[in-house]
Amino acid sequence: MLIVIENVLSPDEVAQFREKLAGAGWSDGADTAGTRSVAVKQNLQLPRSDDVAQALGTAILRKLGHHSEFISASLAEKIWPPVFNLYQDGGHYGTHSDAAIMRLPDGSMTLRSDLSATLFLSDPDSYDGGELVIEESYGAQAVKLPAGDMVLYPSGSLHQVTPVTRGQRICAITWMQSAVADAAARAMLYDMDQSIRVLSVGRAKDDADIDRLIHVYHNLLRRWANV
């Protein structure tokens, strides 16, 4: 399931991010690619130890921790520290899938990558190319979102970033281990939660029908969660 989450960052927050990233110490993204991915990865990336990357990554995690739709869609148990990348001058990332098990070099985190996320930080009109193309069961979908918006998609899907032929495409990417590993179960929980939100509008806070739906939601979550 591919889910777009709008306005993770406000326009002012995006501008602040871009200002700080403008003078950051970008390095070759191939340094962090796997043995096969390195052959198809051509971009720039901020090292994990970079002060700007750590500060902005913490800010993103703080936003996601309070974003109701992100929480509903991901049911994230663990979130990888965000990584910042930059594509320009034909930079691209060929077709690949993300590693199933990810470990930080210092051993402080190991996670199973259930979901991947791309948070767009560049105005889509400021660059050509750079679409995130995700192959799903119903075909490939090309994603190029406004700055501040995020897309969630299965980490096991084949995906690519097409060449950027003009301007710069700057994004933050991260991965999540969900409390509900089964993608179909997670999708049903997300649909149910969204329906509860819509049906709750205009109803009393103690509406018995809504309370019953919430009861069912949490019992299903209890059944499927692995924490």
Q: Which residues are annotated as a binding site for 2-oxoglutarate?
A: 169
Alpha-carbon Rg of the chain, whole angstroms?
18
CA distance 178 to 15: 30
Give CA separation, 52 vs 45, 47, 151, 198, in Å: 12, 10, 23, 39
Binding residues: 96, 98, 159, 169
For residue 88, how many C-alpha atoms fall within 13 Å in the half-sphere facing its CB?
Answer: 12
For residue 121, how many C-alpha atoms fall within 13 Å in the half-sphere facing its CB?
Answer: 27
Four-residue CA torsion sign, 105, 110, 112, 114: negative
For residue 47, how many C-alpha atoms fall within 13 Å in the half-sphere facing its CB?
Answer: 7
Cβ-contact 179, 84 below 8 angstroms: no
CA distance 143 to 18: 21
Binding residues for Fe cation: 96, 98, 159
Residue in this structure with the two tokens 């700007």, named with its chain if needed? 52
Cβ-contact 116, 134 below 8 angstroms: no
Q: What angle do CA 226, 149, 152 make, to 5 degrees?
A: 30
Residue in this structure with the two tokens 């679409």, named with its chain if needed? 131
